[in-house]
Amino acid sequence: MTDLVEIASDGLLAAINPFGAELTHLRDTGRRELMSDADPAFWSHTAPILFPVIGVTNGGVIRVDGTAHPMPKHGFARHSTFDVVRHERDRAVFRLADSEATRQHYPFAFRLDIDFALYRTRLTVEARITNRGERPMPAQFGFHPALAWPLPFGAARDEHIITFDADEPERLLRIAPDGLIAPERRDSPLDGRSLHLDDALFTDDALVWDPVHSDKVRYGPAEGAAIEMGFPDTPRLGVWTKPGARFVCIEPWHGLADLEGFAGELRDKPGAFVVAPGEDKRLRMSIALST
């Protein structure tokens, strides 16, 4: 098993697994766990990094300049070992660079840095995607943190609410049984700006806001300690769990799974961005304790 890399502030303790650069633990000073228990009966991950695609691709491939390349669900970063390139008391940076293995799936020269930094009761995670090649590089990227449900502060599971900081008037995307995006949308379950969490919401997979107008949400009971999660750089948001599990994922995305029947190029996938040669793309997420 890979040793976890630990960082700490005056208010939080975090541990990251270099395999996948995956946030494995986030605890307060009372050592109460804010992340999923990773029960394999439901889902053994805690916060995978989604790159260079989000979700499933039609036929299990992406297309670059007319050539098909096999691509696993959510990409390959979550199944890759990152190098630890910086480790301080309150900060750690993990790096994945292209290799012969990655170029079988994604024929680009890239560098992906995931920077974890703690300050008081806030964790900030920044992804920096650098194009090391000589041609434009399309990609998608997503965060996938699984937070404890219920949070360890005493409120019951059915008291937990996700509250958006802006109105979200659109209907939600619908995910087909094969993981592709269906053409028809589904009604939004929001009550005003509030999502009252219940297992029944997730019998048909994730809830997906496309677009999401908020750039932060509050997660927890209506009163008392909760989590504020910020995502200023990602225009879509997924919320997901498996019914009965002790976690809920709040997932900021820059991209989506393929639409049913999609057979276009990677650069034309919904939410894909393009990084120019020698340039980089940065996306941030934060998780903070709130009272």
Confidence at residue 1, expressed as pLDDT on a 0 to 100 scale: 52
Q: How does pLDDT run across 245-257, given as a tens digit for each residue?
A: 999 999 999 999 9
Taking the complete model, does pTM exceed 0.95, yes or no? Answer: yes
Q: Is 180 exposed, middle or buried (0-12, 13-18, 19+ CB in 10 A)?
A: buried
Residue 16 has pLDDT above 60, yes or no: yes
As given in the structure block, the two tokens for residue 141 are: 């990227």
As given in the structure block, the two tokens for residue 82 are: 């990152």
Q: How does pLDDT run across 168-214, given as a tens digit for each residue?
A: 999 999 999 999 999 999 999 999 999 999 999 999 999 999 999 99
Q: How does pLDDT run across 60-115, given as a tens digit for each residue?
A: 999 999 999 999 999 999 999 999 999 999 999 999 999 999 999 999 999 999 99
H helix runs in 41-195, sequence order: 100-103
Sheet holding 194-196, edge to edge: 83-87, 91-97, 110-119, 122-131, 280-290, 226-230, 216-220, 161-164, 194-196
Task: State how far the Cα of 106 lies from the Cα of 110, in Å rounded to an integer.
Answer: 9
- Which residues 6+ apart lie within 8 Å of 277 measured at CB? 131, 133, 134, 135, 136, 137
Please give the domain boundaries of the chain with CATH numbers for all domains. 5-290 (2.70.98.10)
User: Contact 173/180 with Cβ under 8 angstroms?
Assistant: no
